[in-house]
Structure 1
Amino acid sequence: MARTPRKRTSTATPEPITRQAIVVIHGQGEQRPMGTIRDFVQALWQDNPQLDTPGEAYPRPRPIWIVPDDKSGLYELQRITTPEHNGRRTDFFELYYADLLNATPLRNLWRWIRRLLWIDPAYVPRHMRWPWAVFWFLTVIAITSALGAVLALPQVFDTNWYDHFVSPAAQRGHWISLVGLALILLPKFIRPLARLKALPRPLLVFVIAMGFLDSFGWNGHVANLMLLGWLAYLAGTLLLPYFGDAASYLSAQTETVQSRQGVRNRGLALLKALHDDPEYDRVVVIAHSLGSVLAYDLLHILWREVGPTKDNPPGPEAVAAFAALDDFVAAGPDDDWVPVRVEAYQKLQWQLFDALRRQKGEPGSSEGSGWKISDLVTLGSPLSSAEFLITDGHADFSRMKTERVLPTAPPQPYDDTRGSIYPDAQKGPSSHHAAVFSAVRWTNLYDRSESPLFLLGDAISGPLSGADRFGPGIKDEKVEITWGRLGWRLFTHNFYWTDTAPDGKPPADHITTLRNAVGFERPSP
């Protein structure tokens, strides 16, 4: 989409942020349009006590308006708008892309699985070794089970299963299975039994399976076929819908180029529409899981196309803010990025963003406008395993960062004497194409457990900050999410935006951390 030529002007007069857009990018899986964004609106706006003014009563949940969205390009999506609050109005948008990855060919998934299985063990990060080992174990189990089922086919077909199934010895197993099935179905149709819905569904399915095995006298061939069926069920309901999306987006192969291009085109169309809309002063991107990889790519591409590079050089105030940022980075050692220094770095990023977003433009000139995206907030990001999932090991990952193929925070220096900006002979000081995280604050929430039981917490997530990752200027926030009355820590990957605190209690710590990262009403410098 071509940008309207504008004349760049700049002013030192403080300009408050009066309208902002928050873009939510969902993760992998069979997501429904608008299935995720409503929970973010509730957490960040409707139930957010940080926005309350002392002495004033606010309704819970706060009111919202849902109106047609003409920027996403999908009629299935709606824009969620808040009333003006403390001089600022907010619009929520969802970047939906699950439909573009829905037709994942099995060969794409198999190619990705094969790559993960045969990757050099030296390339596997320490935190991924247990999941990788379990992945190998399940693969061996599936192959062994399938081989056993094939070899047992003659004996299976020669057995009179019907006579055994109706024999008195099978009655006990029948009753066990029927009881388990009744506990699942009866609460659905008989209202007085609705309390039985609290029984764990996996436990009841396990009871039915045990009863079925008992009906057949705990025959090994039947048990093996049930195991094979269970593995096939997991492959169809988990592996293909969830990891199939990752296979389509993370691996650049002949079969995946078109789907990757379609996803990025849709995302860029939305971000450009928001960037070019003069109504918006600020844009925040919140991305979960695979969506964080997409958000990372989109910001890099968008910076090259509309950011303050030599095709749209920054004004004097922005150049000064760039210089202050580069001086700050150069002043301290690379291995001394303590939390206080990261906070100071993000304040300078906020000042640079503010200088860029105030570069207004007018139609008819040869220059473009400034930059409007202030924050990237990633939740449960697989980028923590980039050297394992995206590149071929740590050496390849380091090379791609040095070559500015993968942007970092702070950005890789232009050369030995210059940082994120360099002098252009014709257009003056400009930022290089991978300096997007000079102006965009990156906050990453993760809930990785150090326990070998990788199902505790969120094994997909992890820290992104550090010279050996995506740069020390990222603000990593380690959270510990618990859910349920017993405070479960099992697979918390989808709970980053859900307040799991009991009713009447203060918000859960991870919700407060998310709200602080977004900075819903963060003032202008």
Structure 2
Amino acid sequence: MARTPRKRAQAPQPIARQAIVVIHGQGEQRPMGTIRDFVHALWQDNPQLDTPGEDHPRPRPIWIVPDDKSGLYELQRITTPEHNGRRSDFFELYYADLLNATPLRNLWRWIRRLLWIDPAYVPPHMRWPWAVFWVLTILTAASALGAILALPQILDTNWYDHFVSEAARRGQVISLVGLVLILAPKFIRPLAMLKRLPRQLLVLLVAIGILDSFGWNGHVANLMVLGWLAYLAGTLLLPYFGDAASYLSAQTETVQSRQGVRNRGLALLKALHEDPEYDRVIVVAHSLGSVLAYDLLHILWREVGPTKDNPPGPEAVAAFAALDTFVAASPRNSWSAEQVATYQALQWRLLDALRTQKGKPGTAELSGWKISDLVTLGSPLSSAEFLITDGRDDFARMKTERVLPTAPPPPYDTTRGAIYPDPQKGPVAHHAAVFSAVRWTNLYDRTESPLFLLGDAISGPLAGAERFGPGINDTKVEITWGRLSWRLFTHNFYWTDTAPKGEPPAGHITAFREAVGLERGVPSTRLPPEAQ
């Protein structure tokens, strides 16, 4: 590619206002329920923003103002006062209502796919969860079959006489004690200290009392197990995995819900992108929300990115060339921490060149790219070949065909990188080059031991040629809480400071704040020597 003449570098424009878009994970989330915790961690109680020698109130002040960009009256924008010359606005991309009505057949189809998937397609870190999934499925089927076969005997037994007999008294007392310990603190204020008792232990006490009341009858025990499994399905399987079934699997029944979720997300990102008040947009996504964020950035890049429909300016072309030069000289399988840092510095320079390409109001001219960072927390994309594609080969093929963007982007051809010369428009980026400009940081807390519930089994690394490219900043954190340093299922603790009161912030909170970088400085426009 011919060298593009570079204009004289201008002083970088400061970032005066930025938007942080928070995308929640799966489950029955309440509007504004997640974003407040994110704002508290990133702004209100963030010591990294403190100016030495000045007093900073805790929590820092915020304002709740009407949100005219999300399209939902249930949502509000949370904005901060100006700090070091920059204001931050927090928006929530809420989509739980669009996936709420998950038909059981969608969930069943997704569960059936996971059960009957070729074991060779199951990645090593998912083999234990997959095995447990099979065990629970077999247990449910056996319990249901036992209940059906025992139905005539259950209906023929006089359970009332047995329940009011003298032999049932001990079990009834045990159950009554458990119920009193659960309900009394709710209605009697002086007994509030009883709330410290583990709720699960009290429920187990009630269950033991019921079994004892019926003489530890096997049929009763089986019905209780079946009821417990049904409760788990209603409170965990449908709300959480139902959302995943509606979004991750492209089926006839899920196309409409997937389209609705993406349309809402694109409307918010476009509104922020077109607003001249914003100089930078950061996307922070948790769990299933990270899959949605990944899709939205790819679609948005195709529509408003520096492709042939919106060609980049000379400064951006030079920054693209610097990226391509660095990528061509680097290995494709894995990078060191220093190489990732260099790549992200080049991405930041490209972002600065693109965001200053302001569109002209009243014309069809598009504005430059403003999204600087994608921060994923507990992302199931680490199991993409298992959850999204049909195995490792299909996953690799979709990356090569630029259906799934990577960081760095796949080359346009054997001689050109993220940019190529269009006959009419000149140098432009291809449609899957979104992670040329967007820095991707991934936080995960996964343990490789069979005790997969220790840590976050849903999360995992995303960097590397076998995943989503070596240019991702993978950050492994270890989330613990309490005096015993508990590690049980930390999937929802990435934005919660679990450090004891009075001690420095927990390591995962510090990593989270650094990944977002609310006050990340404007980069120098000077390009590295190899790109000049």
For Structure 1 versus Structure 2, the TM-score category normalised by the shorter chain is over 0.9
For 2:331 and 2:421, the matched residues in 1 are separated by 25
Asked if 2 retains the 8 angstrom alpha-carbon contact of 1:10 and 1:358, the reply is no
Match of 2:529 in 1: none
Equivalent runs, 1:18-417 vs 2, <5 Å = 18-363=16-361, 365-417=363-415
Tell me: CA distance 1:399–1:336, structure 2 relative to 1, closer, same or farther (3 Å): closer
CA-CA distance at 1:10 after TM superposition:
10
What do residues 385-439 of structure 1 show as CA deviations (whole Å, max 9, x unaligned)? Answer: 0000000000000000000000000000000000000001111000000000000
Alignment partner of 2:475: what SS? strand
Report how many aligned residue pairs link the two structures: 517
Asked if 2 retains the 8 angstrom alpha-carbon contact of 1:10 and 1:360, the reply is no
CA-CA distance at 1:248 after TM superposition:
0.2
Match of 1:458 in 2: 456
For 2:449 and 2:177, the matched residues in 1 are separated by 37
For 1:486 and 1:282, the matched residues in 2 are separated by 41
Asked if 1 retains the 8 angstrom alpha-carbon contact of 2:12 and 2:352, the reply is no
Alignment partner of 1:459: what SS? coil
For 2:122 and 2:334, the matched residues in 1 are separated by 27
For 2:36 and 2:21, the matched residues in 1 are separated by 12
Question: TM-score, normalising length from structure 1?
Answer: 0.97
Equivalent runs, 1:492-511 vs 2, <5 Å = 492-511=490-509
Equivalent position amino acid for 1:373 in 2: I
CA-CA distance at 1:466 after TM superposition:
0.4
Structure 1, 390-399 or 170-179: larger mean CA deviation: 170-179
For 1:201 and 1:363, the matched residues in 2 are separated by 59
Question: TM-score, normalising length from structure 2?
Answer: 0.96
Asked if 2 retains the 8 angstrom alpha-carbon contact of 1:11 and 1:358, the reply is no
For 1:305 and 1:246, the matched residues in 2 are separated by 26
What percent of counterpart residues are identical? 84
Equivalent position amino acid for 1:238 in 2: L
For 1:419 and 1:58, the matched residues in 2 are separated by 47
RMSD: 1.1
Alignment partner of 1:293: what SS? helix
Asked if 2 retains the 8 angstrom alpha-carbon contact of 1:442 and 1:474, the reply is yes
For 2:192 and 2:361, the matched residues in 1 are separated by 63
Asked if 2 retains the 8 angstrom alpha-carbon contact of 1:380 and 1:446, the reply is yes
CA-CA distance at 1:483 after TM superposition:
2.0
Asked if 1 retains the 8 angstrom alpha-carbon contact of 2:174 and 2:205, the reply is yes
CA-CA distance at 1:169 after TM superposition:
1.0
CA-CA distance at 1:369 after TM superposition:
1.4
Equivalent position amino acid for 2:501 in 1: D
CA-CA distance at 1:484 after TM superposition:
3.0
CA-CA distance at 1:450 after TM superposition:
1.6
Asked if 2 retains the 8 angstrom alpha-carbon contact of 1:10 and 1:359, the reply is no
CA-CA distance at 1:367 after TM superposition:
3.0
The runs of 4+ residues in structure 1 deviating greater than 6 Å are none
Alignment partner of 1:24: what SS? strand
1:17 to 11, 15, 18: 15
For 2:507 and 2:119, the matched residues in 1 are separated by 36
Asked if 2 retains the 8 angstrom alpha-carbon contact of 1:325 and 1:349, the reply is yes
What do residues 273-324 of structure 1 show as CA deviations (whole Å, max 9, x unaligned)? Answer: 0000000000000000000000000000000000000000000000000000
Alignment partner of 1:374: what SS? strand
Asked if 1 retains the 8 angstrom alpha-carbon contact of 2:377 and 2:494, the reply is yes
For 2:331 and 2:183, the matched residues in 1 are separated by 64
Structure 1, 333-342 or 264-273: larger mean CA deviation: 333-342
For 2:64 and 2:56, the matched residues in 1 are separated by 20
For structure 2, list consecutive stretches of 5 or more residues without a partner in the other structure.
Answer: 1-6, 524-532
CA-CA distance at 1:486 after TM superposition:
2.5
Asked if 2 retains the 8 angstrom alpha-carbon contact of 1:379 and 1:445, the reply is yes
Equivalent position amino acid for 2:370 in 1: K
For 2:251 and 2:416, the matched residues in 1 are separated by 36
